[in-house]
Amino acid sequence: MGDFFSEKIVTGEENKGIERADEYEKVIKVAVENQPGIKLERSQFFRYPNDMNTIASFVEERIQTGEKINLLEIGVGNMEELSSYLAAIKKVADKYGRNLKDLVNTELVELRAKGSVIPNFGLGKVMGVFINSDPELSKKAPPVKPPEDYKTSFYLDEDEGVNKFAPEIQAYIEGLVSDDTKAHFGRSIEDHLAIGQGQSDVVACNNVLQYLGGMGHTYQNPFNKGPEGADLTKFKKVVRDIAKMVKEGGLLIMHVDVKGGDRKGRGAENVLESIEGFTSAFDKVGPGIYRRKVGITQDVL
Ligand SMILES: C[S@@+](CC[C@H](N)C(=O)[O-])C[C@H]1O[C@@H](n2cnc3c(N)ncnc32)[C@H](O)[C@@H]1O
């Protein structure tokens, strides 16, 4: 990486104010502003802090009915996003004296092979959030703290000096990863859809749009200016089919951070809202989050 990283980010000069996992956003903003054109697509914990509250409220609403929610995550990185969602759900579980696994059933679809996805359970250090290039510096650095109000979802690993996701969350994810009926590794969402799929209460598909429907990694703003020769029909169909996987009353979460999108999720919003019938079938409940209306037939999409 360029000098900016080695001089400012790694030494902590620019990110010394970043102490909590939900503040990574600030580091990225600084990095992107100082090094235009840089691609930072690494998955982060609590990437969209607002999503956590929406998911927690959704689970809390559902807990009253006694039904478990089905969550589908498309494109998992190294589980940073799923761990963050589970940390939010655990808050609800704790409040009602329940276990995570009794509240949420998760499935995942991930293009990469099983062995190449290494669940990441540590929040890291205040310095070297992006690159731990200097192990000595890193050893001395303080641990990144969990977001406020998430205390029961984390513990401090004294040996490594980092805050980690609670054993219940780690065990949940490890159980999921080893269950081939739920964890579909080595499978694209396109292939998953082609097999014919049911619906889920929550479908999360973040920072995956840029890879879909043959857009390659050159995604700009697919509906306006996809890469030359891009097949937008194919792209639109995949996005529409993902939206169709959301049950009535369920949530669709879609953000995209690459050029053409923005960190408030509007890249994905532009794409979704351009799909015919989408706004008839979904209400927007927050940046990059939609709730499927009840009583609207599948045909509008
Ligand atoms: C940039 S990461 C985003 C991870 C996470 N959702 C987040 O926002 O932090 C994109 C992930 O999607 C996966 N992926 C890319 N194309 C895919 C496809 N067609 N179907 C399923 N997963 C895909 C990649 O392997 C990677 O794990």
Cβ atoms of residues 226 and 220 within 8 Å? yes
Distance CA 298, CA 293 (A): 11
Using CA positions, which residue lies closest to atom 20 of ligand 1? 188
Question: Which 3 state secondary structure label does DSSP give 144?
Answer: coil
Tokens at 240, concatenated: 């529409």
Q: Could you say which DSSP state residue 23 is in?
A: G
Q: Could you say which DSSP state residue 5 is in?
A: I
Side by side, which strands form the sheet with 289-292? 183-185, 104-110, 69-74, 200-204, 246-253, 289-292, 282-286
Query: What's the whole-model pTM score?
Result: 0.85
How far, in Å, from the CA of 143 to the mean position of ligand 1?
A: 27
How far, in Å, from the CA of 6 to the mean position of ligand 1?
A: 27
Using CA positions, which residue lies closest to atom 13 of ligand 1? 75
Distance CA 25, CA 37 (A): 17
| Mutate which of 55, 111, 185, 241 for ligand 1 pocket (most atoms within 8 A of beta carbon) | 111
Which ligand 1 atom sits closest to the C-alpha of 80? 9
How far, in Å, from the CA of 191 to the mean position of ligand 1?
A: 14
Cβ atoms of residues 217 and 210 within 8 Å? yes
Q: Which helix (H) or strand (E) holds 233?
A: helix 232-244
Mean pLDDT by 10 residues, the chain (301 residues): 43 54 64 49 73 95 92 95 95 95 97 92 66 57 81 92 94 98 95 92 90 55 50 81 96 75 58 88 94 85 85
Residue 46 phi, psi (nearest 5): 45, 45
Q: Could you say which DSSP state residue 97 is in?
A: T
Using CA positions, which residue lies closest to atom 9 of ligand 1? 43
Q: Which residues pair with 282 in a beta bridge?
A: 292
Using CA positions, which residue lies closest to atom 24 of ligand 1? 75
Tokens at 257, concatenated: 């951070």
